[in-house]
Chain A
Amino acid sequence: MESLIISQMAVSGALMGLVYALIAYGFQLTFSTSKSINFGQGELVMLSAFFSLTLLDWGVPYWLMVPGGLLFGVFLGLAVERAGVRLALEQKSEGWILLTIIIGLLGFSAAENIWGRDDRPFPTPISADALQFFGVNVTPLEISVAIGVFALMGLIELFKRKTLLGKAFEAVSADRDAAELMGISATRTVMLSYGLSGLVAAMAGILVSPITTVGPTMASALILKAFSVAVVAGLDSGFGVVVIGIFLGALESLTSFYLGSGWREAPGLILLILALAVRPNGVFGKATIRKV
């Protein structure tokens, strides 16, 4: 019984952890090309989820809503880049920190005014009835989250490695100046990374909403954990965020079982402090030497 409980808790937590990983991946995408991240990423998750819910309310079928929601995410990502990041980067200033936070706050107020403050259910055709694997209960809904996360991350990684545009992405990540000398437009690549990051946020919103319900504050807890995952894993390792995400999710639910649910948030924070103290570049991060 005891081992069964541990595995149930670990599995439930790990599936949630995959969502942290997906959002953390969104941080990584923009950080790798521009060394900037969108601090309003959580609002992108929330706004895309609300937009997708509105599509469903209009009678758009679920499987058509998904690309619609994702496109909206891309659009939001591009808007953040244009309004909050590009000018700051051109001037080599850190203004993007404040600007992305402000854009996030704007998005939050907009959502409150357009959709209201209530948490709303997000209908899905995927069943929430439990299935049993070796005594552990998992719902198809949770499995769909895992599949969605892996599929999207896999596709983006494949894109980065196999296509010309993707290689340009990698080149800018590796060395922006050298890439520009080779004729790659860094500005466009940064745009691309923000678009992809918006796409990832929208996917996270669509995947997680049926489980958590949709509301203006739905992503505030998620985003903090995703940020921990991104920092602990290192801001340049796609594989790392998955491992750390799963680990953190499982650790959280085991903590809340053994120490009480009030301690749920503790492991993430301790992990973050440890990582910053012991491995500032992240567990899976590469220590880079910057030549001056």
Chain B
Amino acid sequence: MKKTLIGLLFLGMLATSVSAADTIKIAITGPFTGGSAPMGASMRDGAKLAIAEINAAGGISVADKKMQFEVIERDDEAKNDRGALIAQELASMNDLSGVIGSVNTGVVLAGDKHFQEKGVTKIITPAAGSASMTQWSKAGVPDLSIFRFAAHDGIQSEMVVEEAIKRNLTKVAIMYDSTNYGVSGRDDMLEQIKKQGNKLEVVASEKFNIGDKDMTAQLLKAKSAGAQAVLIWGIGPELAAFANGMAKMEMKTPLIGGWPLSMSNFIDNAGKNGNGTLMPQTFIEEPITPKAKSFIESYHKTYSVPRIASPVSAAQGYDAVYIFAAAVKQAQSRDTRKIKEALEDLRDPVEGVITTWKKPFSKWDPANEQTHEAFRREQVVMGMVQDGRVVFGNDSDRQRLIKNAIK
């Protein structure tokens, strides 16, 4: 009896491995619940949309076989320990082709070492701070299986400072949350102010904690010091407390900051007080190109929503899958190491919803983490909150993207 049972179990295992033979296993991880959920869930939904499209078209032909994508989803809840556990689990799967995901820097720092150890290819998207890549350049690893597909903090702070200068402002207040993310954002902005010619004087530099609801003290300091703009680095709900506080203090100065200002939990909680807020974006939910139009429409239809909770995350998740698929096709293999090599040298351009990606990554160079970073300044635009959605902050960006699409 026992033997037959074991035999049956064995058969069962064989059976599943046979049915899995023609699929490419890809894991999608990220915070699908909690404060960072708008980013994580939108990324997941965008990625799954791309996967559904590829599968519906018959999949990818690898070595004369049409292969479909098979998705494994894991919710890391933005918790570092969960992230580490999930990474361990995924890295121990022998037939996993790759991982797409992550929002929180802490989760990435806790988990990615397991992927790197086993050589599992991972594309970090939609977020995670600079440390998620600099940890590898600092360690000087000769070969890296981790790629990042997100506008890194350096580009974002550059644009935030640029925007303030472009508006002929001279005095700014810097607000940042007390997490790693906030503090490194402040440092990036200060560095950029220096780099861009010290045209801005920082008249107030104030900290706030996650969960703070009342920002009157910080805002009063900025106001009494005569700040003409508030440059801010933080995450959704606290940012909304700032926008609401500014309305109360009748501060009409612009609020400019990192891209979490486009998250729905900022936009919803700030309501009309959020209007005019500026932040860098990789994708704006406006159907300005045919590709963007069809992406937005099918997202709305598939998930029955009138707007995408985090358009940037959805678009990045979508494009990341197409880039990954292109690598599978080029490698003609589902082996995660071969896919990594293909990613480092993608021959054909990949048409995405953000842009047409030409060689997004190159061979890893420990002295320059840009080799595994896809985004450059020109793929990022300034977005602005307007009546509950994010629109183009500068019309010139919009025109540029339309022109690029026609080319």
Contact = CB atoms under 8 A, between A and B. Distances in A.
Contact of B35 (A16, A119, A212): A119
A116 interface: yes
Interface stretch (B48-56, B203-211, B316-324): B203-211
B217 interface: yes
A121 to B, nearest CB: 5
B220 A257 contact: yes
A260 B220 CA distance: 12
B344 to A, nearest CB: 38
Contacts of A257: 217, 220-221
B207 A128 contact: no
A8 B220 contact: yes
A5 B220 contact: yes
Contact of B207 (A118, A212, A261): A261
Contacts of A261: 206-209, 212, 217-218
A129 B213 contact: no
B244 interface: yes
A128 B212 CA distance: 18
Contact of B211 (A8, A16, A121, A221): A221
Contacts, number: 80
Nearest to B249: A137
B217 A253 contact: yes
B237 interface: yes
Interface string B10-39: 000000000000000000000001110100
Contacts of B33: 116-118
B178 interface: yes
Given A9-B220, A261-B208, A262-B178, A118 B214 contact: no
Interface of chain B, main secondary structure: helix
A118 B249 contact: no
Interface in A230-271: 253, 256-257, 260-262, 264
Contacts of A187: none
Contacts of B214: 12-13, 16, 211, 253
A119 B209 CA distance: 15
Interface residues of A, number: 31
A118 B35 contact: yes
A139 B214 CA distance: 13
A213 B247 contact: no
B30 to A, nearest CB: 15
A1 interface: yes
A213 B237 contact: yes
B407 interface: no
A121 B34 contact: no
Interface in A1-35: 1, 5, 8-9, 12-13, 16
Interface of B: 33-35, 37, 178, 206-209, 211-214, 216-218, 220-221, 224, 236-237, 240, 244, 247-250, 265, 268-269, 271, 273
24 contacts: A5-B224, A8-B220, A8-B249, A12-B216, A117-B33, A118-B34, A118-B37, A118-B265, A119-B236, A119-B237, A121-B268, A121-B269, A121-B271, A128-B248, A130-B249, A137-B248, A212-B213, A213-B213, A213-B269, A221-B211, A256-B218, A261-B206, A262-B178, A264-B212
